[in-house]
């Protein structure tokens, strides 16, 4: 049995599944913080499904990009549980997990995650013979630029993620070949995360609590402000606490 944890946005989602079936899922977007609800939700779902910690063979967790705080809480919980239970971890990029909401879809898929300051983290995918193909790796772009570009394509692109939801009006006005995904497919779900993760568990392509890192793409606002105030402070580049890719220049 595997546990999936998705906390990359305001949505808190957990799921239990094995290689053959899904046992249970709890997905909530109620305005509460992940620190308030994540652990009680895990305990409650496991109790309802008659699953004990000893039944969990591995944990899958969303590694980003997304909410810095949400990712830290989700990954911290996953790593603590994996360490305590001595079980493997699989980290799944948030955008890959969201693309699994559209399993084997014929549409192009655009994942837009809110990156603040009118930017989005954007990646593009399509499905080919039940294989997820990434057409564009995640990068930070201006939200308006992404919407305009996707609306001018030749194939319909279904867009999902909180960045797409935030831009729902602009997407509707743009028309053309861009369309906001149906309501149930717009936001991340732990069940989709587990669909992406289970092949990694079965093949042994896993990590452990000490080595799994989040994928932020860009530094948090707090880190940027700190560096501006401490320009001469030394930074340890050899042992980073997170994986950061500066994919876009800072917006004014």
Q: Which two tokens stand for residue 101?
A: 């909401």
The whole-model pTM stands at 0.86
Q: What is the CATH number of the domain that holds 145?
A: 3.30.420.40
* List of the chain residues with pLDDT < 50: 220-226, 234, 236-252
pLDDT at site 190: 98
Q: Which two tokens stand for residue 40?
A: 């009680």
Q: Which two tokens stand for residue 197?
A: 């993760």
pLDDT at site 241: 33
pLDDT at site 230: 57
In a domain, 14, yes or no: no
Q: Which two tokens stand for residue 85?
A: 């239970």
Q: How far is CA 163 from CA 3, 137, 145, in A?
A: 26, 16, 13
* SS3 category, 80: helix
In a domain, 168, yes or no: yes
**Residues 99 and 109: beta-carbon distance below 8 Å:** yes
110's enclosing H/E stretch is: strand 108-114
In a domain, 220, yes or no: no
pLDDT at site 132: 97
**Residues 27 and 13: beta-carbon distance below 8 Å:** yes
Residue range(s) defining the domain that contains residue 119: 102-185
State how many domains the chain has. Answer: 1
- CA dist 167 and 158 (Å) reads 13
First to last CA, the chain: 47
Determine if residue 55 is left, alpha or beta; phi over 0 gives left, psi from -120 to 50 gives alpha, anything else beta: alpha
Q: What is the DSSP letter of 102?
A: G
pLDDT at site 44: 97
- CA dist 239 and 246 (Å) reads 17
């Amino acid at each position: 049995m595997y546990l999936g944890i998705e906390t990359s946005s305001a949505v808190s989602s957990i799921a239990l599944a094995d290689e053959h079936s899904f046992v249970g899922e709890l997905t909530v977007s109620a305005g509460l913080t992940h620190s308030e609800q994540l652990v009680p939700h895990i305990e409650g779902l496991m109790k309802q499904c008659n699953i004990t910690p000893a039944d969990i063979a591995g944990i899958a967790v969303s590694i980003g990009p997304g909410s810095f705080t949400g990712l830290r809480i989700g990954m911290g919980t996953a790593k603590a549980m994996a360490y305590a239970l001595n079980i493997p971890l699989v980290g799944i990029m948030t955008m890959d997990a969201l693309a699994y909401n559209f399993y084997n879809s014929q549409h192009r898929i655009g994942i837009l995650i809110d990156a603040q300051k009118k930017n989005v983290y954007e990646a593009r995918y399509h499905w080919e013979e039940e294989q997820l193909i990434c057409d564009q790796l995640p990068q930070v772009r201006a939200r308006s630029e992404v919407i305009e570009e996707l609306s001018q394509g030749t194939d319909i692109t279904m867009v999902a993620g909180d960045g797409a939801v935030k831009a729902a009006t602009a997407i509707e006005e743009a028309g053309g070949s861009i369309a906001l995904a149906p309501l149930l497919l717009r936001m991340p779900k732990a069940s989709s995360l587990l669909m992406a993760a289970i092949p990694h568990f079965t093949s042994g392509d896993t990590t452990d609590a000490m080595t799994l890192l989040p994928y932020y793409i860009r530094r948090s606002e707090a880190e940027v402000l700190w560096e501006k105030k401490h320009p001469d402070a030394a930074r340890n580049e050899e042992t980073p606490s997170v994986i950061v890719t500066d994919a876009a220049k800072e917006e004014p």
